[in-house]
Amino acid sequence: MKFLDDAPRFLFFTGKGGVGKTSIACASALALTREGKKVLLVSTDPASNVGQVFGLTIGNTITEVPAVPGLSALEIDPEQAADAYRERIIGPVRGLLPEKELASITEQLSGSCTTEIASFNEFTDLLTDDETISAFDHVLFDTAPTGHTIRLLQLPGSWTDFLDDGKGDASCLGPLSGLEKQRTVYAGAVDALADPQRTRLVLVARPQRSPLAEIARTHTELADIGLANQYVVINGVLPAADDDDELAAAIRGREQAALADLPAELRALPFDEVDLKATNMVGIDALGTLFTAANPDAAPAQPDSSDTVPNAPLGALVDELATDDHGLIMCMGKGGVGKTTIAAAIAVALAERGHQVHLTTTDPAAHLTDTLAGTLDNLTVSRIDPAEATAAYRDRVLSSKGAALDDQGRANLAEDLKSPCTEEVAVFQAFSRVIHESRRHFVVVDTAPTGHTLLLLDATGSYHREIARQMGENANFTTPLMRLQNPDETKIVLVTLAETTPRLEAAGLQADLERAGIHPWAWVVNNSLAAAHPTSPLLRRRAAAEATELDTIIAEHSDRYAIVPMMPTEPVGINALRALT
C-alpha cells in the first residue's frame, strides 16, 4: 500500500461515514506493528468502534492490545473527556465557593461546547506531548466522519485566532475559561498538522460517487488550511468475477464508472484500491487479509437466503406514518448506512400521498439535492448549514443585544461572537425551529452521524434544564426535548446495515436515547444483500452473514422494522427513491 510507504509519525484516516476508515486504520496499525514498529491507534470519533474490531474494551486511556505486540489504542471518549475537563475547572474551587455558584458553573459546563473543547484538548495534547508519543513510532488517528473532522482540524487555527483577536467575554465563558493557557499547545498542533514530514492525510472512500465527491471536497478544504500531504484509498472495490450475477455485474459496473469519473484533483494524489472481502473486518485474522487481493470465485457456496429474510417493506412504515398529517421524523444512525437515502425516500412517499413535507439535514456532509436530483409537489428541501446558521445568529444578537450598546460595546460583542462555540448555539436554535415547524406538517430530518447527533441532543437537554430552572416547577412550558420525548409528535427511525458494527452502533444509540426519555419508533435495515438474493459466491457469503444480524435486530431491538434490499443502481432521483417504498 502506497499510503504506508515511508509513513511519517502521524497518519490521519478521514472520509465520509461508513467507508471503512476504522477497518483501514486498524489494518494499517496491524501492518506497521508486523514491521516491528510501535504504534498508537487513536479514535477521535464520538461513535468509535475500534474496541469492537479488536474485541476488547479500550476507553479514554492508552491501552495495550495483548494480541498484537507493539500496538496500543486510545478512544477519546467525549463524555469522559468532558467530565475530566469540568473537574479540572471546578475541582480547585469546590469547598471554596457557595453551592449555588458551583451549580451555576457546572450548568455552564454541561453543554456540547464543553464536550467539543474537551475532546479537542485530548487531540491536540497527543500532537504536541512528546513525552507521551515518544514511546511510539507512529500515531494513527481514526477520525470522525468528514464534516466533523474538518472542523476538528480547523479548530487549532480557530482557537488560536480567537485567543489572539478576542477582546470581549466569551459567549461560552465556562467552557472557554481554560483556553488561554492552551495557546502554545494549539500553535504546536497547527505546526504538526501542516508539516508533511510529520503528518499524512489518508482520504478513504468507497467506489461510489457521493463518497468520492466528499473526499474531493475534503482534499481542497484540508489543503487550504495547510494539510497538503494527502493519499487516497478506495475501500471495498468489488473484484471482477467469472459469474453471471446481474446484481454483482451492476454493482461492479457502477463502481468502475464512478472510479473512471474520479475528480481531477484526486487523480494527482497517490492512490490505492482495497478489494471487498467476503467477511466483515472484525478480529485480527480478518484485518490481516484486508490489504491482500480478493479471489471472489474462491468463496465457498452458501445457501440461498430467500427463506430467511422477513418480508418487511419500507412502504409499510410509510403507510403507518401517513395516518397522521404532521409530525417530526428523524432518521438516525452510524455514518454511511444510508440515512440520507432513507430520509429522502420517506419524504418522497409522504409527499406523493398528498402531505406537505419539509426534508432537511443536520449533517454537514449530506447532500439532499444530489440524492433527490429533482423536485416534487408538496416537498420542500433545506439544510441546517452551520456557517449560515452561525452568521444569522450573530446578526440577530448584534441587532438585538447590540442595539443599546455604544461602539465599543458592539465591538466587544462582535468579538465575543467569534467564539467557535457560537456555532453550537446557532445550530441548536435552527434545529429547534425545525422541531416547532413539525406541529403544522411533516418534517423529515436526515441527521448527522450518531456521535454528533448526540452532541446536538445534549444541547437540547441543556436548554431544557435551563428553561425548567428559570420557569420553576409549577410553570407550563414545552421545550424541544419534550417534543422529542413525545411519541405522538416525534418518530425516531434508526437506520442500520445487517452488519455487526452498524447494528451495535444503532443499539447503543437506542440505549442513549432511551436514557434521555426518547423512544425510537422503528428500525430500517438498509442495503441488505440477503433481501436482494445475489448468486455471486462472494456476495452470497456476505448475504449469509446477515442472517444472524437480522435475527438479533428483530428479537432484541425492535418489533417495528423494514428491510430494504441492495439495489442494482444507486437510489438517486425521485423514481429510484420511490422504488425503495
pLDDT digits 0-9 by tens, 355-383: 999 999 877 666 778 788 888 899 999 88
Q: Which residues touch 402 (CB under 8 Å, ≥6 apart)?
A: 409, 410, 413, 414
Catalytic one among 20, 111, 147, 333?
20
Mean pLDDT of 24-30: 93
Q: Is residue 315 a contact partner of residue 348, using CB atoms and an 8 Å limit?
A: no
Higher pLDDT among residues 541 and 299, named by residue: 541
Longest CA–CA separation in the chain, Å: 78
Catalytic one among 45, 142, 416, 446?
45
Which pLDDT score, from 0 to 100, does residue 11 have?
Answer: 93
Residue with cell 451549580: 103
Which pLDDT score, from 0 to 100, does residue 511 have?
Answer: 86
Which pLDDT score, from 0 to 100, does residue 301 have?
Answer: 54
Q: Is residue 165 a contact partner of residue 38, using CB atoms and an 8 Å limit?
A: no
Catalytic one among 14, 15, 17, 21?
21
Q: Strand 63-64 vs strand 71-75: parallel, antiparallel, or unpaired? A: antiparallel
pLDDT of 230 above 60: yes
Which pLDDT score, from 0 to 100, does residue 408 have?
Answer: 83
Q: Is residue 298 a contact partner of residue 460, using CB atoms and an 8 Å limit?
A: no
Highest mean pLDDT among 100-114, 117-131, 458-472: 117-131
DSSP H or E segment with residue 202 = strand 199-205
Which pLDDT score, from 0 to 100, does residue 335 have?
Answer: 74
Percent with pLDDT over 90 in the chain:
30
Higher pLDDT among residues 51 and 270, named by residue: 270
Q: Which residues touch 317 (CB under 8 Å, ≥6 apart)?
A: 346, 493, 522, 524, 560, 562
- Grid cell for residue 104: 451555576
22 is catalytic: yes
308 is catalytic: no
Which pLDDT score, from 0 to 100, does residue 217 have?
Answer: 86
Which pLDDT score, from 0 to 100, does residue 375 have?
Answer: 85
Which pLDDT score, from 0 to 100, does residue 411 have?
Answer: 81
Percent with pLDDT over 70 in the chain:
80
Mean pLDDT of 430-440: 84
Which pLDDT score, from 0 to 100, does residue 545 have?
Answer: 86
pLDDT mean across residues, the chain: 81
Mean pLDDT of 321-342: 89
Mean pLDDT of 315-325: 95
Distance CA 204, CA 49 (A): 17
Distance CA 47, CA 18 (A): 11
Which pLDDT score, from 0 to 100, does residue 170 have?
Answer: 39
Higher pLDDT among residues 52 and 213, named by residue: 213
Classified by CATH at the fold level, domain 307-580 comes out as Rossmann fold (3.40.50)
Mean pLDDT of 135-163: 67
Q: Would you place residue 139 in the very low, low, confident or very high pLDDT band (cuts 50, 70, 90)?
A: very high
Q: Where are the domains positioned within the chain?
A: 2-297, 307-580
Highest mean pLDDT among 185-189, 260-264, 407-411, 524-528: 524-528
18 is catalytic: yes
pLDDT of 550 above 80: yes
Vertex 126 angle, CA 42 and 54, to 5° = 15
Which pLDDT score, from 0 to 100, does residue 399 have?
Answer: 86
Catalytic one among 15, 17, 18, 461?
18
20 is catalytic: yes
Instruction: Annotate 489-544 with three-state secondary structure.
Output: CEEEEEEECCCHHHHHHHHHHHHHHHHCCCCCCEEEEEEEHHHHCCCCHHHHHHHH
Q: Closest by alpha carbon to 233, among 276, 269, 203, 275?
A: 203
Q: Which of 167-171, 407-411, 422-426, 459-463 has the lowest mean pLDDT?
A: 167-171
Mean pLDDT of 500-507: 83
Catalytic one among 112, 501, 558, 581?
501
Q: Would you place residue 174 in the very low, low, confident or very high pLDDT band (cuts 50, 70, 90)?
A: very low
What's the one-letter identity of residue 425? V
Q: Is residue 9 a contact partner of residue 206, using CB atoms and an 8 Å limit?
A: no
Q: Which residues touch 261 (CB under 8 Å, ≥6 apart)?
A: 209
Q: Which residues touch 572 (CB under 8 Å, ≥6 apart)?
A: 370, 371, 373
Which pLDDT score, from 0 to 100, does residue 358 have?
Answer: 94
Query: Over the stretch 382-420, which tens digit does the pLDDT of each residue have?
Result: 887 777 888 888 888 888 888 888 888 888 777 777 765
pTM above 0.75, yes or no: no
- Grid cell for residue 489: 409528535
Distance CA 504, CA 51 (A): 12
Distance CA 401, CA 272 (A): 53
Which pLDDT score, from 0 to 100, does residue 562 have?
Answer: 97
Does this chain's domain 2-297 share its CATH topology with 307-580? yes
Q: Is residue 494 a contact partner of residue 333, using CB atoms and an 8 Å limit?
A: yes
**If phi over 0 gives left and psi between -120 and 50 gives alpha, with beta otherwise, what is residue 172?**
beta
User: Where does 129-182 have alpha helices with state H?
Assistant: 130-133, 146-165, 173-176
Q: Does domain 2-297 have CATH number 3.40.50.300?
A: yes
Catalytic one among 14, 22, 143, 199?
22
Mean pLDDT of 278-283: 78
45 is catalytic: yes
Residue with cell 459469474: 243
Mean pLDDT of 2-17: 89
Higher pLDDT among residues 405 and 424, named by residue: 405
Mean pLDDT of 267-279: 90
